[in-house]
Amino acid sequence: MPRARQTAAATIAQKAWAAGFSGVQVDGNDVIAMRHETECALTRARAGNGPTLLEAQTYRLADHTTADDASRYRDKAEVETRLAAEPLGRLRLYLTSISAWSKADETALKRACDSEIDAAVAAYLATPPQAPETMVDHLFATLPADLAAQRAAIMVAGDGDG
């Protein structure tokens, strides 16, 4: 839904000002600008100066979900044009242009990320499954009677050993 149909405000950031706190519009495809504005917002909050709404303007390159087909309502040429401003590619291009990033840096980072992901997957796969009845254990301070009965039935059906 276009923003113009959602609000009369020119920006979402203006809505924060109308509510009495800071609002900033940021190029959401600019990683450096986003980091800077996030740091400023954190500094303001930590100093007791209230919240900040960061309106990050970006462009969704992919479908909303696996059930969505954005090609039905977006022109392919528009998406290809916007791809040039994609945040990671844009940052890579900038850092390379100032000699602060290289192919070797990227290869090393990808290896480190792959290794971290592999370790997290291995840790997850090594975690024993929880007993089915535990699915309601942390939902309520005192389990309602109907859920307590269901939990008891699950334990009986599974002998309580998961």
Enzyme catalytic residues: 60, 64, 73
Instruction: For residues 56 and 60, give the distance between their C-alpha atoms in angstroms, rounded to a whole number.
Output: 12
Supply 52's token pair.
């900040």
In sequence order, what DSSP letters do the residues of 11-52 get, joined into one string?
-SHHHHHHHTSEEEEEETT-HHHHHHHHHHHHHHHHTT---E
Q: What angle do CA 146, 150, 155 make, to 5 degrees?
A: 145
> In angstroms, what is the C-alpha Rg of the chain?
24
